[in-house]
Structure 1
Amino acid sequence: MILRDLATFVRSKTAGPFMVTFDIVFSEREELDRAWNSGAFVAERIAPLFPGTELDDVMIFYVPAASAIKVSLPRRVHSGAVGDTDVLAGQQFAPLLGLEIGKGA
C-alpha cells in the first residue's frame, strides 16, 4: 500500500522562508497508527524523496490528537528567492504520495 491510498489528505505548506512542512492526515486512528508503525516515517525513507535533503534535517512528528503525521525539512530554495517556483510550498507534497506503507510492527 502507498500513502495516497491510506491518508485522507496530504498537503504541504511553508513553515517560514526556510522550511516546508507536510501534513499527512488520516480519517481513522488505526490508519494513523498503521502508517506510523510501518517504518516509513523515518529520515532514511523521507530524505531521498527530496533531493539535497540531509537525514539530520528531517523532522518527523506523530500527532495523534490531530490524527496526523507532520514532516518538516529545509526548503531547497528559500521562499521568494530567485529560482523559487512555489512561494507558499503548496505543491511540494507529491513525492510523499508514493511512499510505501507496510503492515507495520
Structure 2
Amino acid sequence: MTTVDDVCHHVRSKNAGPYWVTFDLFFKGPDEFARYHDSPVLGPDLIHRLFGADPALVKRFAVPSLNMIKISYARTSPQGGIVERDMHAGQQFVRLLDVALDPA
C-alpha cells in the first residue's frame, strides 16, 4: 500500500484567507508526480470525508515544474470562529499522510 507520505517529501497545510484552507503536496520526483498528481483518490470525496468540506468547493491545481499539487477547500466555518481548532490550518495536513493511493 503506497501512501501520500511514501511519495511526497513535503506536505503542508495553511490558510488561504479566512475562508479557505490549502494543502501543498510536493512529490519526491517527476515519476511520483506523473503517477499520482491526478489520482482520483486525492479528489473532492477525500477532502469531504476527512474535513467535512463541500466537494463542489474543492479545487486542485497541478504545478508540474515543482512536482506538486495544491488542493484547496472552503472552510466549514471562518478562521477564528467559535469552533476553530487550528487557527492557521498548519496541522490539517496530518490526516493526508496515511491516505492510500494504490488499490489494496
* TM-score tier after normalising by the smaller chain length: 0.7 to 0.9
- The Cα of 1:93 is off from its aligned counterpart by 0.9
Is 1:15 matched with 2:12?
Answer: no
3-state secondary structure, aligned to 1:11: strand
- Tell me the amino acid that sits aligned with residue 45 of structure 2: E
* Aligned-residue offset at 1:25: 0.4
How many angstroms does 1:23 deviate by?
0.3
> SS at 1:40's partner residue?
helix
CA distance in 2, matches of 1:37, 1:22: 15
3-state DSSP class of the match of 1:93? helix
Q: Say whether the 8 Å CA contact 2:7–2:28 is kept in structure 1.
A: no
SS in 1 for 2:87: coil
Matched residues in 2 for 1:84 and 1:39: separation? 29
SS at match of 2:56: helix
State the Cα distance separating 1:24 from its structure 2 match. 0.3
What is the match of residue 32 of structure 2? 31
Rounded Cα–Cα distance in structure 1 between residues aligned with 2:40 and 2:92: 22
Deviation string 1:16-46 (CA, Å, 9 cap, x unpaired) is 0000000000120111111124432221233
Matched, 1:76 2:76: yes
For structure 1, list consecutive stretches of 5 or more residues without a partner in the other structure.
none
CA distance in 2, matches of 1:68, 1:36: 7
Deviating above 6 A after TM superposition, structure 1's stretches of 4 or more consecutive aligned residues are: none
C-alpha distance in 1, partners of 2:28/2:17? Answer: 28
| Aligned-pair identity (%) | 35
How many pairs align?
102
